[in-house]
Structure 1
Amino acid sequence: MPKLPSHSLFDPIIERRHSNSIKWSKYADQDILPMWIADSDFAVPTAITDALHQRVDHAIFGYSHAPERLTQLIVDRMATRFNWQIEPEWIVYLPGLVCGINLCVRAFTDDQQGVVTPKPIYPPFMSSIKLAKRPLSTIPVTLQNQRWLPNLQHAELATNTKLMLLCNPLNPGGTVYNRQELTQTLAFAQQHDLLVCSDEIHSDLILDEHASHIPFASLNEQAAQRSVTLIAPSKTFNIAGLGASMAIIPNPELRRRFNKTKLGIVPDVNALAYTAAQAAYEHGEDWLNQQIGYLRENRALLTAEINAMPFLKLHPIEATYLAWIDASALPVPNPHTFFERAGVGMSPGADFGNKQFVRLNFACSRALLVEALNRMKTAITQLSAQPE
């Protein structure tokens, strides 16, 4: 394996097995490296912990509303990072992005109205439709010029479909939609009169130096008025457990329906989550830039090693820290189980809609990634050596 430079911020392996971590508790008593659920193993920026310490020292944790400073930071961030001019009143705070997806399904469709989603896709897309008992349509995600993209020409919409779930950057697959692809998506939504719920939680984690995130709603006024954009600092700064997310809804009628559905069911964001989000957006940029550099190096190592192994293929990852590995050539009935037995616990592709794939989270220490790759390589070598 090539030797990559060391980064003191991200190289340490922090013990998480007994910290109530969902990711690490899954294999707490087994020699299996957890490379599955999408949280990173990186310590957050010190600005976040400093802000949390200060808030904890206040010693009162009553009901809280969003700080005006946080709202302005989000408005400024959308303008400076993505060239998207938004208004403060468009922002609706949520205690998690997944509840935003579920709210969109329930607010903008009824029992007889359908939802269309790409597939394979992040599992809450599918579960939100199933839980709401809405008619489901899918758009197959296919490989197009080495990039995973929904194939709009092969979409088969159920009668009376009203909502499209969009994931940009795409999870799994890591594709960053370019302007032409988003414009085609908008045309598809206009043709079928669809509202669009755009999950853009990974928009800060663009790894391809030639790609830029474009919010769907920023395309033009037509896109803005038919969309809900979901964002969060959770993946970017590893604060998913604190639960601070935002829906940006330019259309006042859609915003009213969204808030009405939320009322009495979805709780407000808590004081510590607001504190962490504000500190992240106000002081976390340098840390984020260093993290992007580290993830790019992990991606380069991972891509080279996976593509050097028999039976596996990893196409370019433009964004996210999630590798969508094609194991369809692997001569085993279940790739996820095969690698789990080898000591690498990835997300099963079946959860996303294709059991011949596995998804690997590479937001971890370089040493842990190397160990995982070595285990995968050993397992495949042993498999290749077995007599037919």
Structure 2
Amino acid sequence: MENKFNFEICPERRTTESLKWRVYAEDVLPMWVADMDFLSPPPVIEALQQRVEHGVFGYAVDPPSLKQAIVAWLESRYNWRVNEEEIIFVPSVVSGFNLVAMALRAPGAGLLIQTPVYPPFLNVARQAGMKDQRLPLSRDTEGRYYVDGERFRAALTSETRMFLLCNPHNPVGRVFTREELWAMAEACLERDVLICSDEIHCDLVYSGHTHIPIATLDPAVAQKTVTLMSPSKTFNVAGLKFAFAIVPDPALRKTFKQLVHDLGGGMNIMGLVAAEAAYTRGAEWLQALLGVLEANRDFLYEFVHNELPGVKMNRPEATYLAWLDCRDLDLQPNPYEFFLNEARVALNNGRDFGQEGRGFVRLNFGCPRAVLERGLMRMKEALERARMVS
């Protein structure tokens, strides 16, 4: 299997419309936005080619075969049996959780998030006209993030109407345990708070960890949960704009479906084609990808530990994103600008993930090993030059 797919080449992307590769100057190595520098799975490419050859690209209906593929995927990977009518297609997970918030908004209603977190989370409450409620994730003495059940329960108020969960977590890389999920779910049930769970990275989980969709904990939890998933990260098809929501509650599903119809703008027909190919014929490629990503993660962890003194990192339990703690180095004007200007490596600025992200950067290791090594060596050399000057 390892030799069947080529994860060592990085197709030239600067000549395409790639956001990742076109934002920065040509001498900058981009290791920021969360798409991978790997070819998408062969079955996905083949399905798209066949669809292009048809030559007509009109408005699309929701293909029943795709819903059947999603049901089968969730059952095989998470032992989760969902009904097809609970699945609603949306253009993206981001549009999905914003539309859920719009469905729930009411005067004085609050929305709770845990920071640091994926930047679009930070804008949802304001855009929905809700009260912005934030709870920093807890950290232990080793820098590992976790959910403190008592702190979470205390953060829910009489105003809180929605909790927006990120699991697996971006950027800290946690896969929350069953105990952590139960603590959050029970507190939300007690307060009659809807859980909207962004689980876009659920298929990218490493050895020793298991993703548990929070809706699978209990039927009562499922009724109070909207789960958002997508093939975009898993199969590197983010630009095709397809995701789906699982909405068990009939009343909320009706409201949400109308908002998707009115504001979502319809589905990308190529996204539908890619998703079905991925979920029906992409499992073998995904298994090979996970081996490559886990090896990259371990190489990155050892390099940071041994070659980047002053930088701290916990091994991500999922995702292809590493959360690097640079606070001990006091890099000026901040770690993001330091590595961009001095190493010519573009990372994500930690402050964009909330106040708790200051002094951090996020690094994307979803790339060929040679690219990862080149970026890390640039960072190492920049830090060495800075120490010589000081």
Match of 1:349 in 2: 350
Q: Spell out the pairing of 1:130-149 with structure 2 (5 A cutoff).
A: 130-144=126-140, 147-149=144-146
Look up the equivalent residue of 1:363 and give its one-letter code.
G
CA contact (8 A) 2:34 2:233 kept: yes
Give the Cα–Cα distance (whole angstroms) in 2 for the partners of residues 321 and 177 of structure 1. 16
Match of 1:305 in 2: 303
| TM-score of the two chains, using structure 1 as the length reference | 0.95
Deviation at 1:181, TM superposition (A): 1.1
Partner SS state of residue 350, structure 1: helix
Match of 1:373 in 2: 376
Structure 2 residue corresponding to 1:262, chosen from 253, 256, 260: 260
Deviation at 1:152, TM superposition (A): 4.2
**Percentage of matched positions with identical amino acids:** 40
Distance 1:262 1:14, change over 3 A: same
Match of 1:206 in 2: 205
Give the Cα–Cα distance (whole angstroms) in 2 for the partners of residues 14 and 343 of structure 1. 20
Structure 1 residue corresponding to 2:84, chosen from 85, 88, 92: 88
Partner SS state of residue 20, structure 2: helix
Look up the equivalent residue of 1:365 and give its one-letter code.
P
Match of 1:362 in 2: 365
Deviation at 1:6, TM superposition (A): 8.7
CA contact (8 A) 1:336 1:348 kept: yes
CA contact (8 A) 2:90 2:260 kept: no
Partner SS state of residue 36, structure 1: coil
Match of 2:272 in 1: 274
Match of 1:192 in 2: 191
Give the Cα–Cα distance (whole angstroms) in 2 for the partners of residues 359 and 78 of structure 1. 29
Give the Cα–Cα distance (whole angstroms) in 2 for the partners of residues 194 and 53 of structure 1. 44
| TM-score of the two chains, using structure 2 as the length reference | 0.94
**Deviations 1:18-76, CA, capped at 9 Å, x for gaps:** 2000110011x331111111011110111111111111111111111122111111111
Match of 1:49 in 2: 45
Give the Cα–Cα distance (whole angstroms) in 2 for the partners of residues 158 and 335 of structure 1. 36
Give the Cα–Cα distance (whole angstroms) in 1 for the partners of residues 149 and 105 of structure 2. 21
Partner SS state of residue 196, structure 1: strand
Match of 1:9 in 2: 6
CA contact (8 A) 1:140 1:154 kept: no
Deviation at 1:377, TM superposition (A): 0.6
Deviation at 1:7, TM superposition (A): 8.6
Partner SS state of residue 367, structure 2: coil
Look up the equivalent residue of 1:15 and give its one-letter code.
E
**Deviations 1:145-186, CA, capped at 9 Å, x for gaps:** 653224443343455110000011011111111111111111
Q: Where does the alignment leave 5 or more consecutive residues of structure 2 unmatched? A: none
Give the Cα–Cα distance (whole angstroms) in 2 for the partners of residues 233 and 255 of structure 1. 21
Match of 2:104 in 1: 108
Give the Cα–Cα distance (whole angstroms) in 2 for the partners of residues 49 and 262 of structure 1. 28
